[in-house]
A = this chain, B = another copy of it.
């Protein structure tokens, strides 16, 4: 019997109601040919650093870096080691990418009706031109086809950047990042517009694993020895300038809650000194983050970088996964978010200044109908 084929409706992302759908299609058609401006994302700039960069194997592209995929498989009892996810201790994980792909294909039905499933179907059928659905039976044949495509020059990252008509793509980069790949892209003469985004979380959050090393890296990156709150602020300002020099338009900040408050400089320094000595408390960390959100708004008003603020994710919820595989492995869960009270301090201090553009993201959809509306 022939394998079932993909049959993706042109209208699959639109409302099923026919009158809503025809308006949606009309709106979509009016913008479908416009270039993509991607102001926030997590693409690795290394992919564009030289023209021969490739996505690796089908498993490198579809499975190993996609924690939505691996988390779904793990929820059904499949070990992350069997999916080739690297362990933080360097312990053995499955090296055979065809074997991993087979597990993925055997369990592909799990993604039915999920956003990951919609994404994967689009990639397989529309981007890679695979006609058969992915099943245990078609797994290896489809692996062959994708592998062959990935070897073609048309499937190099830079070629896809052009094919997708991307006008600008912003990445997310740590404060101390030397932006080597961004510089290499610029130096290469390639005309793709890839810009860094300044994300200082791993030096702002005093409880980040390796915070002291991150502070050292920050000192080295900008040549300013960070040994106090004031030198910390100077170092951040210097780095923001460096990011801007490589095209950055924005910063990005994450916190568990949207709480904002302002410390005096001397209180901020006292917290910072405790952190340097490894003696910061959880409350120090919480309040320092809240303070630094406000301080970042002050910097944004001065240097013009758009400020993005993400809240509501409780990270590394599963200790066993975090200890074995590290962060960003599908174990972050949303919590309730509160904005009306939490943002009051920052809005009262900086919100009436027309120079500030603050974009607040939420994972809690009830925020939209409640706190994002004026009463």
Contacts and interface: CB of A to CB of B under 8 A. Distances in A.
Interface of A: 16-20, 23, 68, 71, 77, 313-314, 317-321, 330, 332-336, 338, 340-341, 344, 347-348, 351-352, 354, 363-366, 369-371, 373-375
Contacts of A321: 352
B338 A318 contact: no
A355 to B, nearest CB: 10
28 contacts: A16-B17, A16-B19, A17-B17, A18-B18, A18-B19, A68-B374, A77-B354, A313-B375, A317-B340, A317-B344, A317-B347, A318-B347, A318-B352, A332-B374, A333-B371, A333-B373, A333-B374, A334-B371, A334-B375, A335-B338, A335-B340, A335-B341, A335-B371, A364-B366, A364-B370, A365-B366, A366-B366, A366-B369
A68 B340 CA distance: 18
A93 B17 CA distance: 49
Contacts of A320: 348, 352
Chain A at the B interface: SS class: loop
B375 A366 contact: no
A363 B370 contact: yes
Contact of A340 (B333, B340, B374): B333
Given A318-B352, A319-B348, A335-B370, 15 more contacts: A16-B20, A16-B23, A17-B20, A18-B19, A71-B374, A317-B347, A318-B347, A320-B352, A333-B371, A334-B371, A334-B373, A335-B341, A336-B370, A363-B370, A366-B366
Contact of A370 (B19, B366, B373): B366
Q: Which 6 A-B pairs have the closest CB atoms?
A: A332-B375, A333-B340, A16-B19, A77-B354, A335-B340, A17-B17
Contact of A17 (B19, B333, B347, B348): B19
Chain multiplicity (copies): 3
A23 B366 CA distance: 29
Contacts of A366: 364-366, 369-370
Contacts of A18: 18-19
Contacts of A344: 317
A321 B351 CA distance: 11
Contacts of A373: 333-334
A318 B351 contact: yes
A112 to B, nearest CB: 13
Contact of A334 (B17, B20, B333, B370): B370
Nearest to A333: B340
A202 B19 CA distance: 49
A364 B366 CA distance: 9
A374 to B, nearest CB: 6
A19 B333 CA distance: 34
A336 B333 contact: no
A77 B321 CA distance: 47
